[in-house]
Chain A
Amino acid sequence: MKQMTYGEAIREGMRIRMREDENVCIFGEDVGAFGGCFGVTAGLFDEFGDKRVRDTPISEGVIIGCAVGSAATGLRPIAELMFIDFLTVGMDQLVNQAAKMRYMFGGNISVPMVVRLPGGGGVSAAAQHSQSLEAWLTHVPGLKVVYPSTPQDALGLMLSAIDDEDPVMFVEHKAMYGMKGEVDDVIVPIKLGVGDIKRAGTDITVVATGKMVHEALKAAAKLEKEGISVEVIDPRTLYPLDKKMIFNSIEKTTRVVIATEEVKRGSFAGELAAMISESCFFNLDAPIKRVNALDTPIPFAPNLENFVLPNDVDIYNAVKEVMA
C-alpha cells in the first residue's frame, strides 16, 4: 500500500499507459510544462516531452476534435478540458462526432479517446467553473462516463479508460485533487461498469458519486451512532452502470437515498431513481429520496454556494426521513 492523492493517482494512471504505449498522448490547455491548471499533468511533460504532452491553444472544439481525429487514426489520446464547464464549447465534436462514429459508420471507425473533465463546486469558482454536468454525458449513447471518488479508483479507472475502444469521459472533482488515499502496490485496471461498496450496511442504501461519496460516508458514520446502518455504494462509472450492485443492495435494505452534486432537475440522479423504481419498486419500503444541488446556477459567495451544494447533513437528513 502507498499513499497517493487523487490528482497523483490520475497522473499515475496516465503515466503507466504512456510508458507502455507510445500512442498514448496528452493534450489540452496548459498541460505541458505548467502541469495543468490543477497540477494533474505535472512532470509528464518532463518525462515524455512535447510530442506526447502538448499545450493547445484555447480552442475546446479542436481539442476534442483532435482527440476524435487522432483516435480514429490510431492514437489513444487523453484530452484535458480545464473545467467540465467548457464542454459547451466542444460539444459538437463530442456528441455528434466522437459518440456517433462507431455506430453511424457501422463499426468501421472507433475512437478510443479519453476526455478529462474537472467538475464540481465548493471552491468559490462561481457559475461557469463549478458545474456537475455528468448528466449531459450519460444522456448520449456512444459515450462512457467515469467518475472516481478515491485515488485507488481514479488510478484503476484511468487505466481502463485509456484501454477502452470507445470515448470515455473521465469526470474528476476539483475539490478532491489533494485528497489522499491508499493505493494498492499491485496496480490493476478497474473494469468500467463495476461499482464499489464503500461501506457495507443493512438498513438503507445510499448511492453516491464523486465527492458525495465522502459526504455519504460522513453521514453514515454519524448515523451508525444512532443505530442506522447505511450501505454506501459508489457506482464509479455512470455508464456503463453497475445496476446489479445497486439493485442487490436495495433488495437487502429496502430503502434508498441517491446523492450527487448535480442540479436535481434532469440529473443522472433522476435516471438512477427512475431505474430503481422500475426495477425495485416492490422491494422498497419507502419512497426514493434524492440529495442534490438546488435548482440554480452555482453562486460565488461562500455561504450561498455552501447552501446550494448538497453535503453530509443533507444526506443525514434524507436518510432520517426515509427511515422514519
Chain B
Amino acid sequence: MKISNETIIEMYEKMVKIRKFETRAMNLFAEGQVGGFVHLYIGEEAVATGACESLRDDDYITSTHRGHGHILAKGGDMKYMMAELFGKETGYCKGKGGSMHIADATKGILGANGIVGAGHNIATGAGLGIQYKGTDQVCACFFGDASTNQSTFHEGLNLASTWKLPVVFICENNGYGISVSQARHQNITDISQRAVSYNIPGITVDGNDVFAVFEAVQEAVARARKGQGPTLIECKTYRWRGHFEGDPTVYRPEGELEQWKKKDPIPRVEKYILDNQVMTQAEMDKLNEKIDALVEEAVDFALASKFPDISSAVEDVYTDIVEEGRSR
C-alpha cells in the first residue's frame, strides 16, 4: 500500500509531539511540579499514531492510564493537556482529572482511565451507540496486554463480535503489567490469537512500525465502517520508562530496554522520510523546533493558569450537600 507523503509527515509530527510532550512531563514530574500518577508512553508512540491516522474527528477512542499518546494522536491540544497535568482550571478537565483522566468530547476522546480493562466495555458501548444511530463512525479501543486478563476483555469482545459493533480493539502489548511480564500473566504470547474465540479477525503487528500499525488499523476501520464488526489488533511494543514515574524498573532483564531502544519508532520513520525524500533533514529539524516551541508554550500556558477555584469542587456532579462547604 502506498502511504501518501502528507500522511507520513502527519504521523511523524504526531510521534515527535508525543515524545516531546512526555519528555517534558517526565522532567516536570521529577522537579515536583506535576504530581499524582504519571504513566508515560515513550517508546510506544507508533501505536497511537498509526491507529488514530485512520480515524476522523467524529470517531471515538477509549484510552488507558497511559493516555497522553492516544489523546495527542486523536488531536488533543497540548496546552489543555499540560494544564490538566498541573491540575489547573484551564486543563481539559478543569484540574479534576490529572494525567490519568483526560477527556475531550469534541475530539471523541472518551477519556483516559484509571481502571485497567474498563475501556473494553465502554468502547463496546460506544460501538452500540454508533450502530444504533446508523452512522459510519467507529470506536478505537486502546488497552494494554495485562488488561486482557480482566473479564471485561472477554465481555467486550464477545458482545462487540456478536452484535457486529464498529469497534477496533487495539492492544498495546508492551510485555508488562507493571512488574509482571507477559509470560507471567498469561499463557499465550500473541494476544491476537484470542480473536479466534470471537470469530473476528486478529492480527499481530510490529507496534514500533507506524506504517504497519496504520495499515492494520486502516483495514479494521474500513471493516467496522461497513458494519462488518470488530477486529483485534495486537501491537508489540515496549515502554521505555517505568510503569509510572518513580518506578525503579528492577524487574527488567538486563539489556532488554537497550534492545528495544534500537527499535525506536521515531528514527525509523525519519530514515524512511530521508530515504524517500518525503522531507529534507532541514525540514525535519524545523518541524522539531516547531514542536519544541509548542511544548514550551503549553508549559507556559499551564504555569500561567490558576488552580481551580474552590467553589468548583462541588460542580460537575449533582450534590445537594453543598452547604457543607468547608468553613476553613
Closest to B84 in A: A300
The residue that B179 contacts in the complex, of A33, A85, A308, with Cβ under 8 A, is A33
Say yes or no: A313-B328 contact (C-beta < 8 A), given A55-B184, A58-B116: yes
Rounded to whole angstroms, the CA-CA distance of A294 and B318 in the bound complex is 12
Known: A301-B87, A317-B327. A58 touches B150 (CB 8 A): yes
A111-126 contacts to B (CB < 8 Å): 123-126
Does A193 make an interface contact (CB < 8 A)? no
Measured CA separation A89–B120 after assembly (Å)? 13
Q: Do B179 and A34 touch (CB < 8 A)?
A: yes
**Complex interface bits, B91-119 against A, C-beta within 8 A gives 1, otherwise 0:** 00101111011000000000001111100
CB <8 Å contact, A59 and B114: no
Number of residue pairs A-B, CB distance < 8 angstroms: 148
Partner of B36, one of A37, A59, A126, A294: A126
Interface residues of B in 308-328 (CB under 8 A from A): 308, 310, 312-314, 317, 319-322, 324-328
Residues of A within 8 A of B115 (CB): 85-86, 88-89, 128
CB distance from A123 to the nearest CB of B (A): 7
Residues of chain B with a CB closer than 8 A to A307's CB = 310, 313, 326
**For residue A126, which residues in chain B have a CB less than 8 angstroms away from its CB?**
36-37, 96-98, 100-101, 114
Contact B88 A301 (CB under 8 A): yes
Q: Which residues of B contact A127 (CB under 8 A)?
A: 96-97, 101, 114
Assess whether B177 is in contact with A57, with CB atoms less than 8 Å apart: yes
CB pair B146 A57 closer than 8 Å = yes
A264 touches B313 (CB 8 A): no
> Do the beta carbons of A58 and B177 come within 8 Å of each other?
yes
Chain B residues, CB < 8 A from A43: none
Q: What number of B residues sit within 8 Å (CB to CB) of A?
A: 48
Of A32, A85, A303, the contact of B310 (CB 8 Å cutoff): A303
Listed residue (B96, B113, B185, B250) with the most chain A CB atoms within 10 angstroms of its CB: B96
A300 to B180, Cβ gap below 8 A? no
A29 at the B interface (CB under 8 A): yes
B272 beta carbon closer than 8 Å to chain A: no
- A294 near B96 (CB under 8 angstroms)? no
Interface flags for A271-301 (1: CB within 8 Å of B; 0: not) read 0000000000000000000000011110111
In the complex, A265→B146 CA distance in Å? 35
Q: Does B240 contact A (CB under 8 A)?
A: no
With a cutoff of 8 Å between Cβ atoms, the chain B residues found around residue A55 in the complex are 179-180, 184-185
A86: chain B residues at CB < 8 Å are: 115
